[in-house]
Structure 1
Amino acid sequence: MIADENAAREWVRALPGVDDAAMARLELLVELLIDENSRQNLVSAASLESVWVRHIVDSAQLLAYAPEVLPGPWLDLGTGAGFPGLVIAALRPQAEVLMVESRARRIAWLERARLAMGLDRAQVIGLRLEMVETRPVSVISARAFAPLDKLLGLSARFSTAHTRWLLPKGQSAGQELSQLRKWQHMFHVEQSLTDPQAGIVVGTLAGMTKR
């Protein structure tokens, strides 16, 4: 379990492929977030005291369960303040990261941050998820976007048999997964590195159960 900011920075720095440029992008993201949070409530003010643990590592830990090489885009749903989408894009700038967000002020923030960090392969999709054009993706992530059953109903159309789902669900991870009935899946819960009571739903989706 990662408990403090120094340990969080060291953990990120030790990730495969992370160099000085990647760390600089994340440091810039933190600066931009703190500044923007004074104008709009992107994250709770209290969480900024441990921003590397609560937001950077909490997002970056998803890379442990993602393919090293993505044949298609990484789709992040309801990116909001930029987590995990901006963190993933900062650490994998060569990957196509699609961040879906429908709120105007959040869209503007994501675009400013993306440009400031030089994330040319990342894209902000300023639409409700229902309006986003269907396309196959390599990874689907969502942090505090919707209950698991509803989330699958909204986004299964982007998934193939090989798409990896990475869904931080907090304390409800095990319960939401145990209550999932109408979907054929290979999901399981992984322990979060930032919260001893939180879990991440990880796996692949085959489709809806035949009735």
Structure 2
Amino acid sequence: MGRRVVRSDGEFLASEDQARSWLEQAFAPTAAQWNHLERFAAMLIAENDRQNLIAASTIPTIWVRHIADSAQLLALDSESAGLWVDLGSGPGLPGLVVAILSERPMLLVESRRRRCEFLRAVAAELRLGHVEVAEAPLERVATRPAGTISARAFAPLDKLIDLSARFSTESTHWLLPKGRNAVKELASLPDAWQRMFHVEQSRTDAESQILVGRGKLRAETR
């Protein structure tokens, strides 16, 4: 199953209006959730003037490139529960978007102090009491069982799995956006790891794909 590519249903989201329409259809956000998404986007753009959180070229399409791009991971995770661990959360993508659209307990793992300050500021302003920020390299974060592990731009796949496998259980859901090299990166892994994943087509970028897996990854399966 490791190299199968599944195309998401529906067309690719090519405009900000399409991104908002998809969010409405997929999650039916409340008025408060819409307000939180709008405020998060505004805070992200403002903070980008102080520290490089997202590429400036993506700001005009922030709802496609960052909000919907993050939310699609939640759409792939409807059957999971428990702690969601977002590795290398950076500006809170996808973690803060997921936390706005769901009540899943969220652990944002980020080692850079200024980014952690931003994450805490957003969580405080939006009153996201189910969000915790771990300001440390992943190696120093205490192990706890994760219902979901996500990593939007954290590390090469083999290193990512090595560092995070201790958080996984038999029911852990892995959601790993890997761009155009997803199939290639997956093919480089040991067969036992490959069999736990399939590849989903991103709905926000025709050249991007998402590795989706389920289960406990163990170093001894290398």
TM-score normalised over the length of structure 2 = 0.90
In the alignment, structure 1 segments of 5+ residues that lack a partner are none
**TM superposition shift of 1:16:** 3.2
Deviant stretches of 4+, over 4 Å: none
Which residue of 2 is the match for residue 187 of structure 1? 197
Post-superposition offset of 1:60: 0.2
Q: Distance in 1 between matches of 2:90 and 2:50?
A: 15
Aligned to 1:103: 112
> Which position in structure 2 is the counterpart of 1:88?
98
The 1-side partners of 2:78 and 2:21 are apart by: 22
- Whole-angstrom CA distance in 1 between matches of 2:53 and 2:149: 22
Query: Which whole-Å CA distance do the structure 2 matches of 1:54 and 1:171 have between them?
Result: 15
Kept in 1: contact 2:162–2:219 (CA 8 A): no
2:26 corresponds in structure 1 to: 15
Task: String of CA shifts for 1:54-81, please: whole Å, max 9, x gaps.
Answer: 00011000012213451x2000000001
* Residues 145-186 of structure 1: CA deviation (Å, up to 9, x unaligned): 001111000000000011000000001111001111164341
> What percent of counterpart residues are identical?
49
Deviations 1:177-200 (A, max 9, x none): 111116434101000011101100
AA matched with 1:87 = V
The one-letter amino acid paired with 2:64 is V
- Aligned-CA RMSD value: 1.4
Alignment match of 1:134 (pick from 143, 147, 150): 143
Match of 1:151 in 2: 160
Equivalent residue, structure 2, for 1:75: 85
Select the structure with the greater relative contact order (CA < 8 A; seq sep ≥ 6): 2
User: For the Cα contact (< 8 Å) 1:13–1:23, is it kept in 2?
Assistant: no
1:147 and 1:68 mapped to 2: Cα distance?
A: 27
Q: Aligned pair 1:53/2:44, yes or no?
A: no
Question: In structure 1, what is the Cα distance between the partners aligned to 2:147 and 2:114?
Answer: 28
CA contact (8 A) 1:100 1:129 kept: yes
Structure 1 residue matching 2:178: 3-state secondary structure? strand
Residue 127 (structure 2) pairs with residue 118 (structure 1) = yes
Taking structure 1 as reference, are residues 17 and 136 closer, same or farther at Cα in structure 2, changes over 3 Å only? farther
Counterpart Cα distance in 2 of 1:163 and 1:120:
23
Matched pairs, number: 209
TM-score by length of 1: 0.95
Corresponding position: 1:36 with 2:13: no
Q: Which runs of 5+ in 2 are unaligned?
A: 1-11
Give the Cα separation in 1 of the matches to 2:39 and 2:94.
15
Q: Counterparts in 2 of 1:194-209, with a 5 A limit?
A: 194-206=204-216, 207-209=218-220
